[in-house]
Amino acid sequence: MKSEEILSKQLFEPATIDPSKGEEITKPTLSYWQDAWLRIRKNVGAIIGIILLVTLIFFALVGPYMTPYDSFEQDLSRAKLPPKIPVLENISWLHLDGTIQFTKDQPRIDVYEQKGIEEYFWFGTDGLGRDLWTRTWEGTRISLFIALVAALIDMVIGVAYGGISAYYGGRVDNVMQRIVEILYGIPFLVVVILFMLILNPGILSIILAMTVVGWLGMSRVVRGQILKLKNQEFVLASKTLGAKDSKIIIKHLLPNITGVIIVNTMFTIPGAIFGEAFLSFIGLGLPAPMASLGTLIEDGFKSLQIFPHMILFPAIVISVIMIAFNLVADGLRDALDPKMRD
């Protein structure tokens, strides 16, 4: 009884319900790319990868111009110099002071002093006296170029092939997939080696050799995605509205697989860099005076035990590139395709 006295009717007031409030969305609208950026920003690995990549690309573009030497300039009087970097030369355990130690019990020799060379060769020189700093960054540039172009070509062919195969389906799909299976059956190395033997060695032939079978993976991924999408109701809705095939592909299908395409391409690039290095290493790469990371590693490998610096720097660069691309690709996959994780 008492509670009724305390809670009298006058204390209450009917709430006004505004039905339009129920439809309100207060969250700011985010496009697909803004959303992806928010997610990738939180991914430490991907950010490290992006920073590494930007740094590497910066050096690949600018590095060769930071020294007075060009990459073909030979001078046997300064051959096989160990690395010597100003400032860092003072840190003794780094041994970036132009000294070299041939066997354990011998003292370190300062090669620069011995040969009377005043200049600094930051990464040292190779057997023909060419500056390795210049050659490493020029090699990085060429390796990146080859990988990017190869990955782009793979992407274009793969998307077109997989897309057509899945979208038209039926007999078209059947025939196209049998062709892919046959191509899959041929060992990659055999195709590439035959290609390199027929064509003159050079950037173009390396790219061609790698793209002959490189697009297969992309085409399969794209086919799977399109098969999944083409019977989705929003595609059917577009059909009932009378949209043409081209419009359906461009407006409905492609935008929904861009994430997958980008991620796949990002994973192809390190593969292509490695492929190029591998071809160069087995002697099927770029012709002599040109430098790529692969040819530099092959050169350095010959005198690995005496002059380890020759292989060290290109090897570090290629490893960092591969790690950076994989980190970024991983981050992109999580950011662009959040459903793929579960």
Partner 1 sequence: MSKQKLLEINNLKQHFEISRGNVVKAVDGISFDVYKGETFGLVGESGCGKSTTGRTIIRLYNATDGNIIYDGVDVHDKKSKKDLKMFNQKMQMIFQDPYASLNPRMKVSDIIAEGIDIHGLASSKEERMDRVIELLETVGLNKEHANRYPHEFSGGQRQRIGIARALAVKPEFIIADEPISALDVSIQAQVINLLKKLQKEKKLTYLFIAHDLSMVKYISDRIGVMYQGKIVELAESDELYSNPIHPYTKSLLSAIPLPDPEHERTRKRIIYDPSQHQYNNSEEASLREVKPGHFVYCSENEYKRYKAENQ
Residue from the set 255, 283, 287, 289 that interacts with partner 1 by CB under 8 A: 255
* Paired tokens of 44: 């430490």
User: Smaller CB distance to partner 1: residue 65 or 234?
Assistant: 234
For the chain, what is the radius of gyration of the CA atoms? 29
Which of 24-32, 151-159, 208-216, 318-326 is the region at the interface with partner 1 (rule: CB under 8 A)?
A: 24-32
Instruction: Note whether 27 binds partner 1 by CB under 8 A.
Output: yes
Q: Residue 93 class from Cβ within 10 Å (0-12 exposed, 13-18 middle, 19+ buried)?
A: exposed
The torsion angles phi and psi of 214, rounded to 5 degrees, stand at -65, -25
Please give the residues from 117 up to 146 whose contact with partner 1 meets the rule CB under 8 A.
Answer: none
Selected binder of partner 1 within 243, 249, 312, 322 (CB under 8 A): 243
Question: 141-159 b/e with 16+ CB inside 10 Å = b?
Answer: bbbbebbbbbbbbbbebbb
Angle at 320 between CA 272 and CA 332, to 5 degrees: 70
CB of 336 to partner 1, least distance (A): 11
What interhelical angle do 32-41 and 309-336 show, nearest 10?
130
242 makes contact with partner 1 (CB under 8 A):
yes
Q: Give the residue, chosen from 10, 103, 200, 240, that forms a contact with partner 1 under the rule CB under 8 A.
A: 240
Shortest Cβ distance from residue 238 to partner 1 (Å)? 6
Residue 339 binding partner 1, by CB under 8 A: no
Q: Residue with structure tokens 């007075």?
A: 68
Q: Decide if residue 30 touches partner 1 (CB under 8 A).
A: yes
Exactly one of 130, 252, 309, 333 binds partner 1 (CB under 8 A); that residue is: 252
- CA–CA distance, 179 with 48 (Å, rounded to integer): 40
Which CB, 58 or 168, lies closer to partner 1? 168
SS3 7: coil
Please tell me the distance from the alpha carbon of residue 233 to that of residue 267, in angstroms, as a whole number. Answer: 31
Per CB under 8 A, which of residues 275..334 are in contact with partner 1? none
- Is residue 228 a contact residue for partner 1 (CB under 8 A)? no
User: Between 10 and 29, whose beta carbon lies closer to partner 1?
Assistant: 29
Note whether 233 binds partner 1 by CB under 8 A.
Answer: yes
| Placement of tokens 């191509």 in the chain | 183
Q: Which stretch binds partner 1 (CB under 8 A): 60-68, 129-137, 151-159, 241-249?
A: 241-249
Distance, CA of 257 to CA of 244 (rounded, Å) = 19
Ramachandran sector of residue 331 (left: φ over 0; alpha: ψ -120 to 50; beta: rest): alpha
- Give min distance, CB of 233 to partner 1, in A: 4
Binding of partner 1 by 232 (CB under 8 A): yes
Dig out the tokens for 162 from the structure.
């997989």
Tell me the C-alpha distance between 138 and 291, whole Å.
Answer: 7
Out of 25, 87, 190, 198, which residue is the one contacting partner 1 (CB under 8 A)? Answer: 25
Residues forming the site for partner 1 (CB under 8 A): 20, 23-25, 27, 29-32, 232-234, 236-243, 247, 251-252, 255-256
